[in-house]
């Protein structure tokens, strides 16, 4: 039974706004305090209540040590719309989980989440429960960033003049809000100045300031507000002090950041960093997991699972009904997650926990309209007897049974064509490896059981098997997401140029292009692996999408596009001409090497897919013939000259 000091944490005013944005849980007392103020005052209120109860029962008040113990058994809560956020003490996660269980008596589990994602202790404790999805995500778009800032407004005892960082507990006062106090009457002005001054030197249980001045780190004089006795000032003196400190505040803040303007990108980004406790480099939960920057803000974690005594325990939230507002969008992802988890447990055996996330955006550069499926998942797996975690990438097959049924095919034809497409993808992969493309070392194919819900209404609800491909996560940077500082390093630039040139040769040979004929290279699928010194040592192609897409065109027609890999980096390079020269030399050498290997073992290459049906309309066996024919006829030096002619930096 949960009791409240004041009211339910989700209690709202008549206009729908929350009555209190903060609360404090005492899980071992079954108590939640929502009295207005700060977390420290809510702890003090709880201690006072206990003392009153003790006195009424003829017992002594709490000793100083007992009061400290009560404070230490409290958990900070932040209320956000209809969600309660737990701000755990990283050194006492069991207490946070006790608060979590108590809160689930009040609201569904989906509506209780955890803050402090960037703290290793918090993140790992939540992940080990298979609950990475419960770590409250940071905004993933400009509009979500705006919404986060709007919803961060909070009061202490007066008006909501602060922007509240839920991760640290600091309330930020802006230059504009401070100046706006002048519009208050004398009594309200005095109250707010006392409030600000009284909290400036206070720090919360995490050692963070309760109130601070936004963007005014260099204005030491502002902190002297804490020394002023505003109760002793008359109205004129009160406003004089407001003006005096206001001038200090204005002087400390850059002119373009003095107004609270969500449309001012610079102000918005600074406020976002202040509210999320981020620096400009914006470390994310994805990077904390070990994922590369291209995954930044792209992973939406889904309910996972853990194993207890060898038994698979799905997250209990799977059995909770989804809120109406989320049911249409979220239910399919959770159904897929459950099916994928079942397959992964069969594959990896004795697991400790498993988390699965949906990659919500494209990691590659814009490729135009995309048909078919594009779901990609990140999986974090921990086996009991293995020290390290395993990261896997799952990509649904573009054309499966569902997509063929939606094209009007009957079930048998849809299943056959789905299998043929799987075979086609694996043949392409083999062909790419044969022609020197450096692909991820291992890939497996599996199927996910789904219920059909598509265009053929008469088939709705039938079981279908949707294929997907699973591979190890490749650590490193996508070539398109390399930090500019790496490119400015001459040694790094020379190494990258050599690797890019080598990667460009097989990419050109296999005719990698999208359905519209646009060349695909260096657009997000190529991963740069680095050595312990941070120097580039390899480029691995994570996804061979589009290979053998352009198989009829002459290579001289395709070659000019391969100058783009150099041209897009010119402004970052210490010596663009040197970079272009190394890139070109590496391209020519690698092309000649592959060509020589083909000519030396021509029979082996030519007969690799002889067992496949050959169709001049463009099936893979026919494309393979065309690719090898133009490889044999090509001149590497001429291709190099064609690329060179399209460099914007000269040569």
Q: In the chain, pLDDT over 90 holds for what percent of residues?
A: 57
Which of residues 77 and 119 earns the better pLDDT score?
77
How far, in Å, CA of 316 to CA of 258, rounded? Answer: 47
At 256 the pLDDT is 83
Q: What is the mean pLDDT of the chain?
A: 88
At 167 the pLDDT is 84
Residue with tokens 């977390």: 39
What tokens appear for 420 in the block? 């043929």
Query: Which runs of consecutive H residues, i.e. helices, occur in 91-234?
Result: 93-103, 120-127, 142-151, 175-180, 186-200
- The answer to whether 242 and 222 are in contact (CB under 8 A) is no
Residue with tokens 């701000």: 87
pLDDT digits (tens, 9 = 90+) for 515-526: 888 999 998 889
The sign of the dihedral angle between the CA atoms of 284, 286, 290, 295 is: negative
At 373 the pLDDT is 87
Pairing of strands 3-5, 31-33: parallel
290 pLDDT tier (thresholds 50, 70, 90): low
The sign of the dihedral angle between the CA atoms of 349, 355, 358, 361 is: negative
Which of residues 501 and 297 earns the better pLDDT score?
501
How far, in Å, CA of 327 to CA of 305, rounded? Answer: 21
Task: Look at residues 274, 270, 240 and name the one whose alpha carbon lies nearest to residue 163.
Answer: 274
What tokens appear for 212 in the block? 């601070």
Task: Look at residues 288, 291, 377, 300 and name the one whose alpha carbon lies nearest to residue 341.
Answer: 377
Average pLDDT of the residues in 302-326: 75
330 pLDDT tier (thresholds 50, 70, 90): low
- The answer to whether 598 and 632 are in contact (CB under 8 A) is yes
At 295 the pLDDT is 57
Structural domains in the chain, CATH included, are: 1-116 (no CATH), 138-282 (no CATH), 284-338+345-394 (no CATH), 397-472 (no CATH), 477-644 (1.10.1070)
485 pLDDT tier (thresholds 50, 70, 90): confident
pLDDT digits (tens, 9 = 90+) for 358-414: 887 555 555 555 578 888 898 988 888 888 888 899 999 999 999 999 999 999 999
At 348 the pLDDT is 85
List strand residue ranges (DSSP E) for 521-580, in order. 526-530, 536-541
Torsion on CA atoms 393, 399, 403, 405, rounded to nearest 10: -130
101 pLDDT tier (thresholds 50, 70, 90): very high
Choose the weakest-confidence range: 202-216, 264-278, 566-580.
264-278
The answer on pLDDT for 634 being more than 50 is: yes
Task: Look at residues 399, 359, 368, 369 and name the one whose alpha carbon lies nearest to residue 542.
Answer: 359
At 282 the pLDDT is 36
Which of residues 454 and 369 earns the better pLDDT score?
454
How far, in Å, CA of 96 to CA of 196, rounded? Answer: 30
b/e map 141-150, b = 16+ CB within 10 Å: eeeebbebbe
419 pLDDT tier (thresholds 50, 70, 90): very high
At 563 the pLDDT is 95
How far, in Å, CA of 455 to CA of 460, rounded? Answer: 8
At 281 the pLDDT is 36
At 145 the pLDDT is 85
At 283 the pLDDT is 38
pLDDT digits (tens, 9 = 90+) for 531-574: 999 899 999 998 898 999 999 999 999 999 999 999 999 999 99
Which of residues 459 and 324 earns the better pLDDT score?
459
Residue with tokens 């107004």: 259
At 254 the pLDDT is 87
């Amino acid at each position: 039974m949960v009791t409240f000091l004041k009211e339910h944490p989700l209690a709202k005013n008549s206009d729908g706004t929350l009555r209190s944005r903060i609360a404090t849980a005492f899980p071992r007392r079954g108590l939640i305090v929502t009295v207005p103020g700060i977390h420290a005052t809510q702890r003090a209120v709880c201690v006072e209540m206990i003392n009153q109860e003790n006195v009424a029962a003829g017992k002594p008040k709490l000793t100083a040590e007992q009061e400290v113990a009560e404070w230490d058994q409290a958990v900070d809560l932040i209320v956000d719309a209809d969600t309660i956020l737990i701000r755990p003490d990283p050194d006492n996660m069991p207490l946070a989980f006790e608060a979590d269980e108590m809160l689930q008596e009040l609201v569904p589990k989906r509506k209780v989440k955890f803050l402090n994602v960037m703290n290793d202790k918090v993140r790992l404790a939540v992940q080990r429960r298979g609950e990475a999805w419960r770590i409250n995500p940071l905004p993933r778009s400009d509009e979500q960033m705006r919404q986060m800032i709007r919803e961060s407004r909070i009061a202490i005892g007066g008006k909501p003049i602060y922007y509240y960082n839920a991760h640290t507990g600091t309330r930020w006062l802006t230059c504009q809000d401070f100046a706006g106090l002048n519009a208050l009457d004398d009594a309200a002005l005095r109250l707010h100045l006392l409030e600000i001054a009284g909290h400036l030197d206070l720090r919360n249980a995490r050692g963070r300031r309760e109130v601070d001045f936004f963007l005014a780190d260099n204005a030491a004089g502002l902190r002297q507000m804490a020394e002023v006795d505003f109760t002793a000032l008359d109205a004129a003196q009160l406003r004089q002090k407001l003006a005096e400190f206001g001038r200090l505040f204005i002087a400390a803040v850059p002119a373009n950041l003095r107004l609270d303007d969500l449309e001012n990108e610079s102000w918005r980004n600074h406020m976002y960093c202040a509210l999320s406790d981020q620096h400009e480099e914006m470390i994310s939960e994805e990077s904390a997991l070990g994922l590369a920057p291209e995954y930044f803000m792209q992973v939406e974690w889904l309910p996972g699972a853990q194993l207890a005594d060898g038994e698979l325990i799905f997250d209990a939230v799977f059995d909770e009904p989804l809120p109406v507002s989320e049911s249409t969008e979220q239910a399919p992802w959770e159904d897929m997650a459950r099916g994928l988890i079942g397959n992964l447990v069969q594959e990896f055996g004795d697991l400790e926990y498993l988390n699965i996330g949906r990659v919500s955006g494209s990691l590659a550069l814009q490729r135009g309209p995309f048909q078919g499926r594009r779901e990609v998942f990140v999986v974090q797996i921990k086996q009991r007897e293995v020290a390290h975690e395993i990261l896997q990438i799952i990509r649904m097959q573009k054309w499966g049974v569902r997509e063929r049924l939606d094209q009007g095919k009957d079930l048998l034809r849809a299943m056959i064509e789905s299998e043929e497409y799987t075979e086609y993808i694996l043949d392409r992969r083999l062909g790419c490896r044969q022609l020197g493309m450096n692909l991820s070392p291992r890939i497996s194919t599996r199927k996910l059981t789904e219920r059909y819900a598509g265009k053929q209404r008469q088939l709705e609800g039938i079981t279908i098997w949707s294929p997907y491909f699973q591979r190890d996560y490749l650590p490193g940077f996508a070539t398109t997401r390399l930090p500019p500082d790496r490119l400015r390093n001459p040694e790094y630039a020379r190494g990258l140029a050599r690797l890019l040139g080598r990667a460009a040769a097989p990419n050109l040979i296999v005719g990698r292009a999208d359905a519209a004929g646009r060349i695909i290279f260096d657009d997000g699928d190529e991963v740069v692996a680095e050595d312990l010194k941070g120097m580039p040592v390899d480029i691995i192609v994570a996804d061979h999408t589009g290979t053998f897409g352009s198989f009829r065109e002459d290579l001289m027609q395709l070659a000019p596009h391969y100058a783009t890999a150099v041209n897009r980096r010119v402004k970052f390079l210490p010596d663009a001409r040197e970079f272009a020269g190394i890139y070109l030399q590496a391209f020519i050498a690698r092309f000649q090497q592959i060509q020589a290997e083909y000519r030396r073992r021509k029979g082996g290459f030519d007969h690799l897919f002889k067992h496949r049906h050959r169709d001049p309309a463009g099936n893979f066996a026919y494309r393979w013939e065309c690719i090898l024919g133009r490889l044999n006829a090509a001149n590497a030096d001429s291709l190099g000259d064609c690329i060179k002619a399209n460099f914007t930096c000269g040569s």
